[in-house]
Amino acid sequence: MKNKRGKKIKALIIILIILISLLALLLIAWNKNISGKAILNPTIPSDCSNNSIKSLWDSIFNEPSTDIQIFTNTTEQNKCNSFLAYKIKNNEAFILSGVDISFNLIMQINITAIIGIRGDFTNEYLNILRAVSNSSSDIKLNQTSSSNSLISYKYLNPRTLNLDQANTSFKTIFKAIPGNWMTNDSDQNKVFYIYEENTTETSTNTTKINLGISLANSSLE
């Protein structure tokens, strides 16, 4: 059961990474004036130990890593291939997930992607999240349909947030300092604010991207 749950957690993380990566590419295409200034450098785990995951958590969230629930998967030595950690406080949940993958598309590409989430969720979703730690559960973490995905709008409590409030809320949750926010209101029912920054290290051929999102009408950053 543990291996089965680990595969589902890994599938969920990969799906999240793909979605975030696609969104990041769209944002880069929309906004050519990328700042290029220094951005948050999270403590990327060198292994899947609890201490490594907690160090990463504490480098991203203002909420301390005390009492977080941690699930990991590693298939390579000295690398944490995927992980999921969460913490619940009343209706509020903090979620940290990540994946470290390599593949070859003409050239070798290595990607480390980390997602930190804070949301005010319904009890239904919090129970789903709690069930991840239950070895007898069979939660379908890798489903991606709008009605069955792990995080969908139906699980988010509503709110009304303007851009200034979103900026303040984001900074109380994360240690990253937001850059210039953009507003996406293409869907009146799903307004969200976005910022993105990147830096490129030519000596190591490494690009680092920070992407921040705050929903205006649903409680999620």
- The answer, yes or no, to whether residue 208 has pLDDT greater than 50, is yes
| Mean pLDDT, rounded, for 18-25 | 47
Q: What is the pLDDT of residue 99?
A: 83
Q: pLDDT tens digits, residue range 73-83? A: 777 777 788 88
| Structure-model confidence comparison of residues 80 and 94, the more confident one | 94
For the entire predicted model, the pTM comes to: 0.77
Burial 86-107 (b: 16+ CB within 10 A, else e): bbbeeebbbbbbbbbeeeeeee
Q: Could you tell me what percent of the chain has a pLDDT over 90?
A: 32
Q: What is the pLDDT of residue 7?
A: 54
- Biggest CA-to-CA distance, the chain: 50
